[in-house]
Structure 1
């Protein structure tokens, strides 16, 4: 009886996933990021080990409110990256299995007590769909960020795989968000769910498109293998700059009155263009930077 009461108070429980597994996890979050809140839990799979149950926050920049759609997109990203990994034929990289399931029972404390950590800002509901995968423990590292930036701890093979995806897709896609743990003295990698990015931004609200490509190639160091593959060329990175300057000169020439905030042209919004067909060696000196805001050039 006491165990049943404790479960009602402290444990959240999902329905069965497509694979038949379901997860039980604690009411208190263990970690939080921009998109997800993580809870420690377990599943019904024998010898599955500890699990990390990920719950989507309610809002994104593109306002995808449905956790059903977001979980589908999250799993699709991993499956697409897995297909590229099979073509790459590398045997040192493994993506963890990922499962999705609807919530079945919400712990009493989850219903009525919001976490004391303000960053979480999350309260579970029966409408939520969560995803879960094996918990990789305290040695978890980020090798390539979701925005494409390569961290200093990233090995050559992970960078080569990302470059492979860009080459294999003919410059249309790239995989980022490579996070996980190293095993076998850095010879093997177990990675969590990656992020797919495309020129057309077809992979959901977290697809960063060409921005992720350019961030990667400005920090990527090629191996002997991928140095032979194409790299993006920037086409017209400041295509709005000329219009901004002309607008500024016109206003300056036609009035001596001080600027009001609503008189200023909009702050420059860079729209990068990358070219695969005419690609050439990408130099860090070509790294695009937006011009200073209007306040700084008047």
Structure 2
């Protein structure tokens, strides 16, 4: 499984039912508060062979165990479930689709094919027994449409605000999908890394609970795609950190 890139993985089972392995670059092309993102390539016998991918790795100062990724995957899956319901509720020319990552474990000593990665000694970012995530690379101009603290891209993106509003309504005020980011294509919104606010704080470090929902509605301006959706009754709380463009985390508040 040689390659000109720096890091390689063992085989893992993708959502299309085929086994793949991936190689990815030594240097990240992007980073957030808690993670690095690396460009890579799928290899194997399935239809995704040769396609580009993204490998996401927690920074050293953050937990790198399966529980951290489990909530991320749950948020992506929940966002996709609600996107499918939105696509039935509101037939738009660009339906949203969320990328759902595959989780893999770093495993230097594996002697059999399993979910796992081979750590490369020249990088201190990735280590043995850590978990990383792989997802399809989204080509195109990457944009952020809203954040998880009430910031909204007002540059003509009616969809993001209306979709977030819809998810709150559809779940009877128990959840709200936000932090929408990705690429607006001709026939879809291809999205990644959503946040889901929930009353029970089920979705990890970007789930700000009821206060996160308040942040959304504090700045929300209904548009034509919101027609017929109710608003929260009563007073919406405000906090000083509302309206940040960057993703907010529970440990920062």
TM-score (norm 2): 0.76
Which secondary structure state, in structure 2, belongs to the residue aligned with residue 158 of structure 1?
Answer: helix
The reply on whether 1:28 has 2:27 as its aligned counterpart is yes
- Displacement, 1:136? 2.1
Aligned pairs for 1:209-228 (under 5 A) are 209-228=209-228
Corresponding residue number in structure 1 for 2:109: none
Residue 218 and residue 227 in structure 1: after superposition, are their counterparts in 2 closer, same or farther (change >3 A)? farther
CA contact (8 A) 2:150 2:218 kept: no
* Aligned CA-pair RMSD: 2.6
CA contact (8 A) 2:9 2:23 kept: yes
Corresponding residue number in structure 2 for 1:96: 99
Residue 95 and residue 22 in structure 1: after superposition, are their counterparts in 2 closer, same or farther (change >3 A)? same
Corresponding residue number in structure 1 for 2:9: 13
- Higher helix share goes to which structure? 1
Corresponding residue number in structure 2 for 1:105: 118
Q: Could you report, residue by residue, the CA deviation over 1:78-97 in whole angstroms, capped at 9, with x for unpaired residues?
A: 11111111221256211124
Q: Could you report, residue by residue, the CA deviation over 1:206-251 in whole angstroms, capped at 9, with x for unpaired residues?
A: 211123212222332213352432222455x7xxxxxxxxxxxxxx
The reply on whether 1:199 has 2:199 as its aligned counterpart is yes
Q: Could you report, residue by residue, the CA deviation over 1:96-122 in whole angstroms, capped at 9, with x for unpaired residues?
A: 2421111221123114xxxxxxxxxxx
Aligned pairs for 1:5-154 (under 5 A) are 10-17=6-13, 19=15, 20-44=19-43, 45-47=46-48, 49-59=51-61, 65-88=63-86, 89=88, 90=91, 92-103=95-106, 104-111=117-124, 123-137=125-139, 139-153=141-155
CA contact (8 A) 1:14 1:24 kept: no
Larger Rg: 1
Q: Could you report, residue by residue, the CA deviation over 1:264-297 in whole angstroms, capped at 9, with x for unpaired residues?
A: xxxxxxxx4xxxxxxxxxxxxxxx356xxxxxxx
Residue 197 and residue 25 in structure 1: after superposition, are their counterparts in 2 closer, same or farther (change >3 A)? same
CA contact (8 A) 1:200 1:209 kept: yes
- Displacement, 1:22? 3.1
Equivalents in 2 of 1:15, 1:67: separation in Å? 20
CA contact (8 A) 1:56 1:70 kept: no
- Displacement, 1:132? 1.4
Aligned pairs for 1:225-264 (under 5 A) are 225-235=225-235
TM-score (norm 1): 0.65
Residue 6 and residue 150 in structure 1: after superposition, are their counterparts in 2 closer, same or farther (change >3 A)? closer
Residue 6 and residue 87 in structure 1: after superposition, are their counterparts in 2 closer, same or farther (change >3 A)? closer
